[in-house]
Structure 1
């Protein structure tokens, strides 16, 4: 793994979370423009709510916030926005929690891998070509075709482990 800086999701000092959200929204606009996709107001707001913190967010929590802001939104509205954001590669689903988290990695269609702190609830997407290569090599060796992959590692972040 080549990442040397601490992952921002786990309380990196000096992390400007407002800039983090702004960067995610700017990236979403660029990705959508490049691919000819429409980042509607509701899709943008759902993405922003996913990025409010670095904790996985459930669809019904997003729906509740949208209803607080805009009135009576139907669940399919939020689910369609989440599906759009997933398909565009702007968010990931944390399968074990049935929740969503923003994607901050700038490369297309990478297999998601997460460290999830069981104490504070934060999740950090990690990059590791070593893990990707190991899975691809083992799949090839055994004749297995991988069509979906999510790696979720539970444990304690440095902040929670140090308490």
Structure 2
């Protein structure tokens, strides 16, 4: 049975290592959000560094999720003390489950604060696509599909919740709101 991949990417206003209250708040809230999402119906797995180092993205061992990668437009630091981004890569049973996890509960509350933490961008902040049940997506897959979405718009290869596609490539709706996310 096909599984849905969700890749998210955002550039933070301050490095993750910044001790300022807003950065600490983002990090602390993020851990609670991850715990909640991990219990959400339809959640299957997410990329986690094998060594569990907090704040280390580049150079961490991500196991089957591959080497950590970022879109070409990310221009900030890559060391543990300068990295200023938040990225996720997760597997879901389908778009409705992922949409509900992202746009309800603690994650919805965090989204309402996103401009306190993240720079505004003309680039998409998420991309979704289907994989077969024997595939573990990589960080590079997420980057490639997000860049494809930015350059070409939604297609079965790389799409959004608002402009979703079935595993067969048929256009479908996930959110029902009419708003772009």
Instruction: Identify the structure with bigger relative contact order (alpha carbons < 8 Å, sequence gap 6+).
Output: 2
The structure with more strand, counted as a fraction of residues: 2
Instruction: Answer with 1 or 2: which has the greater Rg.
Output: 1
The structure with more helix, counted as a fraction of residues: 1
